[in-house]
Structure formats: C-alpha cells, structure tokens
Amino acid sequence: MAAMSPSKRRLQKELTSLIREPPPGVHVDEDLTSQNLTQWIVHMEGAKGTLYEGEQFQLQFRFSSKYPFDSPEVTFIGGNIPIHPHIYSNGHICLSILTEDWSPALSVQSICLSIVSMLSSCKEKKRPPDNSFYVKTCSKNPKKTKWWYHDLQDKNISLKLLLIAAIKAAEIGGSEVIAVHNQAKFEIQSKGKTKEGINDPVTEADYRSHCAMVHSLLETFPSITVISEETSKNCDKITVSNIKNNINNLNDYDIKDEIININDITVWIDPLDATKEFTENLLQYVTTMVCIAVKGKPVIGVIYKPFETKQNSSLFWSWTNHAVSRNLQILHKLEDEKIPILIVSQSHAGQIYNVSKIAFGKDVKIVPAAGAGYKFLEVLSGNVTAYVHMTAIKKWDICAGTAILTALGGTVTQLFDQQLISFKPHDSKELTWGLLATMSNHVWYLDKFSNI
C-alpha cells in the first residue's frame, strides 16, 4: 500500500478534527469527502441573529498536491449562494486569506470561521457592484482572479497566524539584540531620567530589535495596529524574512483557530526590556516581548529571553483559552505561600521593603530584580508570590506578562485603584497607579497594601 503524501496526511488530520469538533453551524459531508480527500463539501448554516439566520449553504474546497503551502480553491455551490457584498453570484468569494493572506498555518477550519464571521457582520444583503461583469468574464477558478481588497472594515485575520507571527517577531528581535551585544562596542544614549531618578538608556539594540519586530509583523499584517516602546530609526537597514510560512513553532500543538476583525486588535511590543541591565551585561534580565490585545484585553503573550542557555527556558507564550507553551505547563507551585515573597524593581526596592514591612510584617521577603518580563516569569515559575510595582510603568512592559499570567489563572491589576488594565490603542500608554501580579491570593495582597 502506497504511503500517504504529506499533503493528504495534513488533509486527513484536518478532516478528522473538523468531524469531531466542528465550528458552530458547520459540518463536512463525510461520505463525499471520504471518496476524494482532495475535494470536500462543507455545509454551513447562517448564524442566529444575523441576516442569514437559518439559511443553508454549501462550500466546495479543492486542494492541490501542494496544500497547505498552496491555498485551497473555495467557492459556494448549489442553489443558494449567499447574497453578500463580497460573494459573487457564481459562488466566488473575495476573501484575502484565500489568496494573498494565505499561510500554511491556516486550515479549512480557519476559512470556515472567517466566512461565518464575514456573513455574520454583513449589514445589507447585496451583490458586489461589478457582479454582472465579473461573472461573465472571470475564470472558473477564483484563485486566478487578481482580487483587490479595499474594505478594511471587513478584514478578518487568524489569531493562530498572529500568534505564530508574534513568536517569530520576539525571536527576530532577540537575534538583533544578541547581534548588537556581540559587537566590540555599541552606542548608548539616554532618554532622560525615570521618575525614580534613574538614567533611562536606549541603545542600537533597542532600535534594531524594534525595526525587525515591527517590520516582521507589518509584512504579514500590513493594516494591524502596532504600539512599540521605541520609534523607527534606520529601519531601512534592517532586513527580515517573511514569516507567513513559518509554522514550525506550533507543529506539535493542536490549536483551534479564531478569526477576529483587524480593527479589534492591538499589538504591543517591547523590543528590549531591561536596557540598563543590557548595557551592564546583566543579561539574565533581558527579554523581548509581544502582546496581542483584542478589544483592549490581552489574549496572546510572548516573552523571549535571548541570552538564556538552559534548554526549553528561553521562549514562553500563551493564548487564553487555547494553548500555552509546554514549559509553562510544568512550572512548579510554591509549597508555602504564608510568607510573602515580593519581586520588585531594583530602583525602588528599599521603598517597597519599608512599605511591605508595615503591610505584611517583618518576615516579608523582597527580591530586587530588573525587567518586567523577567519578574512576570518569576511569579509564573513560583519563585516569588507577587510582582509589585509602586510607581508609573509603561504598558508595553506589562502587556505580554499580563496575557500569560492571566491565561494560567493569575490576576494582574493596578495596585492602588485595584482595576483591571485596558490595552486599547487610544488608552494611556502609562500605568500610573502601580501594579500587582499574583498567581493566587490577589485580593489578600490588595487588602494589605490598601491599609497602608
């Protein structure tokens, strides 16, 4: 019996997953598909509360031998073609992930979710304005059409693909940081003083990492909102590879996709956390970070430690309610949390120690450290019980850590007004009311500090 090709193995895996756990309103025709694995019929029902509620549709998928590196040919067929501004009466669909935004990380499920989302967000049933001309002149294969995607309001993107992009961006940024560190010398400038009176340096590594990370994200998602600690400087000198086809990071994870409108997404990046320590060669504190917020809520976080040499201890990531990196699944928990162990910024460890003695008593332990990413990981690993910051802090410092810690059941709030933190694009980029991050007993810690 001939061995199954890589393309058909991938299709068989996707088919099994789609049959076992289909998205709402979607099911595959098992009888037809089992006869020919390269041509599927998928049934779709209009979602409740939408213009298409209760309507039944059929999608036809055709796969080439190059799948998943080549996108499938997808069309509506049958007697009921949805009347939609991006769906032609011959069943062709104007959807970017079917052509230029396709990636091997996407799947049949991703396409179905994107089409369901497109139908559900429709405000008026109508055909595209050029429907009559297109139907008369187009090729039978919609992939031969040169589509023009102009309506960003209807642009949906895959969060699975965005997670892959975030991981790769953090790694690319880390590579730039290492490259600068390995130079004989590099320039150090100053942004001024922090509120604690500490010099706030910026280096070539900050700028190069920023350029690489932002470019890699915008190369794949040109219209996405990216907020970075740094600004672009000599970015034309930085070259990065396109990350669309980089799927190796998640090959061993069975992750269901989610399709989100691009206008609801904000990407926060910190190209080099702990710059001061980087210049002092205290490299254990250095991280690069990427955070994906949906409607202001951090749902994907990536923290990368470029100088970490211990195996499986450099890259940490999470996607809330979907998956976390395996090194986060095996973190140990403190056996005894009766004695608070607080990790704090080195610049104001003395101030927090004095306050904490009043709040918790003389047995409280203070661990001075640098870098917000490092501190979040210490909380996650169980080496400390809480991360406390009493002064202002930037949101790009804490977004990724917040996403990872909350995905694992922890809590992150402001310290003094005890509110959850929003990461919308037009929110203030600075947190002024301090920070508290814990894996447990969060309210107890808040109460202790509120009594001071």
DSSP string, 12-81: HHHHHHHHHSPPTTEEE-HHHHHH-TTEEEEEEEPPTTSTTTT-EEEEEEE--TTTTTSPPEEEEESS--
Residues in a beta bridge with 318:
301, 324
Tokens standing for residue 100: 């230029």
| Rounded Cα gap, residues 115 and 339, in angstroms | 53
SS3 assignment, position 437? strand
Question: Could you tell me which residues are annotated as the binding site for Mg(2+)?
Answer: 229, 270, 272-273, 397
Count of Cβ atoms closer than 10 Å to residue 17 Cβ: 15
Residue 47's Cβ-side half-sphere holds a number of Cα atoms within 13 Å equal to 15
Single-letter residue type at 200: D
SS3 assignment, position 287? strand
The sheet that has 287-294: what strands, in order across it? Answer: 225-228, 265-273, 287-294, 297-304, 315-319, 323-324
Count of Cβ atoms closer than 10 Å to residue 395 Cβ: 22
Single-letter residue type at 198: I
Nearest to 258 by CA among 110, 45, 101: 110
| Residues in contact with 123: Cβ distance below 8 Å, sequence separation at least 6, in sequence order | 51
Length of the chain: 452
Q: Measured on CA atoms in the order 202, 162, 292, 400, is the torsion positive or negative?
A: negative
Phi, psi for residue 181 in degrees, rounded to 5: -60, -35
Cβ atoms 322, 370 nearer than 8 A: no
Single-letter residue type at 310: K
Nearest to 58 by CA among 72, 76, 40: 76
Identify the helix (H) or strand (E) that includes residue 293.
Answer: strand 287-294
The β-bridge relationship of strands 411-413 and 435-438 is: antiparallel
Q: Look-up: residue for tokens 């989610």?
A: 258
Question: Could you tell me which residues are annotated as the binding site?
Answer: 229, 270, 272-273, 397
**Angle ∠(443,448,450) on CA atoms, nearest 5:** 90
